[in-house]
Amino acid sequence: MKSFDYARADSAEAAVADGGSEGTKFIAGGTNLLDLMKLQVETPARLIDISRLDLASVEATEAGGLSIGALVPNADLAAHEVVRRDYPVLSRALLAGASGQLRNKASTGGNLLQRTRCYYFYDTTSACNKRAPGSGCAAIGGFNRIMAVLGTSDQCIATHPSDMAVAMAALEATVVTLKADGDRRRIALADFHRLPGDTPHIETVLEPGELITHVELPPAPKGRQVYRKVRDRASYAFALVSIAGIVAVEDGRIASAALAFGGLAHKPWRDPAVEAALVGHTPGDAAFAVAADALLADARGFGSNDFKIPLARRTLIATLRELTA
Ligand SMILES: Cc1cc2nc3c(=O)[nH]c(=O)nc-3n(C[C@H](O)[C@H](O)[C@H](O)COP(=O)(O)OP(=O)(O)OC[C@H]3O[C@@H](n4cnc5c(N)ncnc54)[C@H](O)[C@@H]3O)c2cc1C
Ligand code: SF4
């Protein structure tokens, strides 16, 4: 590990005032950043420890939703009474991630900003446009079993690994931030993460030194909520395909549908065409097949991850059956 400076922030304002300089990174739980530093994938010159800021509470909003502090541990969020009752898809997604020990330490903000699990990203001897822009992409033409099949570019085919973010995408969460100039931003989760394009090293719309302070959820949606995660092991493994689904059925027809997908793209994937294929239709495999066709119309495999395309189809149909049973 390379040497670095360390400072502990005592307020969000102090953190952002200090956070924008070249080579500076915030550290929250450290469960991703420290691993990357040990491997010298990340080599910050300065760390600002935000873990003791007063951002660890979950509160009701005036709009009837929930405000989640950026430092709320994943374990506490999953166990929160209101989350379990009104947003079970979020609780289930959190509990499907990592391990009990990691969830005790992992924060809400850090979870959104965790980096890809692409093998070549972690291997500093491999070409990787995300780690070293312009060096190439060893995953294209390499072993790419866990990589993306939607929204890829010829520069990067990595996936975003978060389970929590997939549930938040289905719930239409908003990320609230504080910038160095004191301005706050509200960013729809759907717009927060970027597709790789020609700049896979730029993963979100955050500006340098911008701090996530909260994530807000709108009032609880109508309908049944399900999180389904398909992975190589039953625990302690990232998603090959995951789906956060919220579907309401009224008078025998699908009245509303929100579906977000993990393991398939560089960001939690939402496609309005999938939801449009369902709303107004009678629940059943005929409608579900049309939704799966819409999801996968532009899917592209890269060899070892070709299996994800039929897997995503089967997982979507199984999830929709569960949601509408
Ligand atoms: C073995 C293992 C298995 C795992 N399995 C899963 C899994 O199955 N599913 C899953 O979803 N996750 C999984 N994870 C990832 C885990 O959820 C993340 O490491 C964790 O959520 C990151 O949170 P943190 O607080 O530790 O972030 P940190 O490591 O502290 O930070 C991560 C990044 O976020 C930035 N950051 C942190 N907080 C803020 C903020 N408030 N504002 C701006 N920037 C910020 C940091 O600068 C850093 O770049 C796993 C991790 C490990 C080690
Ligand atoms: S897929 Fe992305 S993260 Fe993986 S090697 Fe290629 S550029 Fe790097």
Supply the DSSP symbol for 54.
S
* Closest ligand 1 atom to 177 CA: 42
d(CA 61, CA 288): 35
Sheet hosting strand 24-27, strand order edge to edge: 5-8, 46-49, 24-27
d(CA 206, CA 316): 31
Tokens 């059925």 sit at which residue?
Answer: 249
Task: Classify residue 62: in a domain, yes or no.
Answer: no
Nearest-10 crossing angle of helices 308-324, 285-296: 140
Instruction: Assign 3-state DSSP to the chain and report helix, strand, coil percentages, each to 5.
Output: 30, 20, 50
Ligand 1 pocket test, candidate residues 16, 24, 32, most atoms within 8 A of CB = 32
Ligand 2 centre from 93 Cα, in Å? Answer: 25
302, amino acid identity: F
Task: For residues 213-227, give the mean pLDDT.
Answer: 98
Nearest ligand to the CA of 20 is 1
Ligand 2 close to Cβ of residue 139 (< 6 A): yes
Residue at which a domain ends, from 17, 35, 51: 51
Residues spanned by the domain of 16: 5-51
Task: Count the domains in the chain.
Answer: 2
**CATH, residue 26:** 3.30.43.10
Least confidently predicted of 14-28, 149-163, 309-323: 14-28
Mean pLDDT score across all residues of the chain: 97
- The answer to whether the CB of 166 falls within 8 A of the CB of 260 is yes
Task: Classify residue 168: in a domain, yes or no.
Answer: no
Q: How many CB atoms lie within 10 A of CB 249?
A: 18
Instruction: Judge whether residue 1 has pLDDT over 80.
Output: no
Ligand 2 centre from 312 Cα, in Å? Answer: 21
Ligand 2 centre from 309 Cα, in Å? Answer: 20
Question: Which positions ≥6 away from 132 have C-beta within 8 Å?
Answer: none
Give the pLDDT score at 63: 97
Pairing between strand 184-188 and 241-250? Answer: unpaired
Residue at which a domain ends, from 19, 35, 51: 51
Task: Classify residue 280: in a domain, yes or no.
Answer: yes
Task: Classify residue 30: in a domain, yes or no.
Answer: yes
Binding-site residues, ligand 1, Cβ < 6 A: 25-33, 35, 50, 70, 74, 97-98, 102, 105-107, 109-111, 113-114, 161-164, 211-212, 238
Task: For residues 301-308, give the mean pLDDT.
Answer: 98
**CATH, residue 238:** 3.30.390.50
Task: Classify residue 266: in a domain, yes or no.
Answer: yes
d(CA 239, CA 229): 6
Task: Classify residue 111: in a domain, yes or no.
Answer: no
pLDDT band at 234 (very low <50, low <70, confident <90, very high): confident
Question: Which positions ≥6 away from 164 have C-beta within 8 Å?
Answer: 74, 77, 90, 93, 94, 97, 108, 111, 112
Least confidently predicted of 13-27, 81-95, 108-122: 13-27
Residue at which a domain ends, from 35, 51, 67: 51
Ligand 2 close to Cβ of residue 158 (< 6 A): yes
- The answer to whether the CB of 258 falls within 8 A of the CB of 246 is yes
pLDDT band at 19 (very low <50, low <70, confident <90, very high): confident
Ligand 1 centre from 202 Cα, in Å? Answer: 17
Residues in the chain: 325
Q: Is the dihedral of CA 200, 204, 208, 209 positive or negative?
A: negative
pLDDT tens digits, residue range 272-300? 999 999 999 999 999 999 999 999 999 99
pLDDT band at 20 (very low <50, low <70, confident <90, very high): confident
Task: Classify residue 294: in a domain, yes or no.
Answer: yes
Give the pLDDT score at 185: 98
Element (H, E) at 174: strand 174-178
Ligand 2 close to Cβ of residue 118 (< 6 A): yes
Give the pLDDT score at 235: 85
Give the pLDDT score at 146: 98
pLDDT tens digits, residue range 181-202? 999 999 999 999 999 999 999 9
Task: Classify residue 284: in a domain, yes or no.
Answer: yes
Ligand 2 pocket test, candidate residues 115, 137, 201, most atoms within 8 A of CB = 137
Angle, vertex CA 266, rays to CA 265 and CA 269, nearest 5: 50
Give the pLDDT score at 3: 92
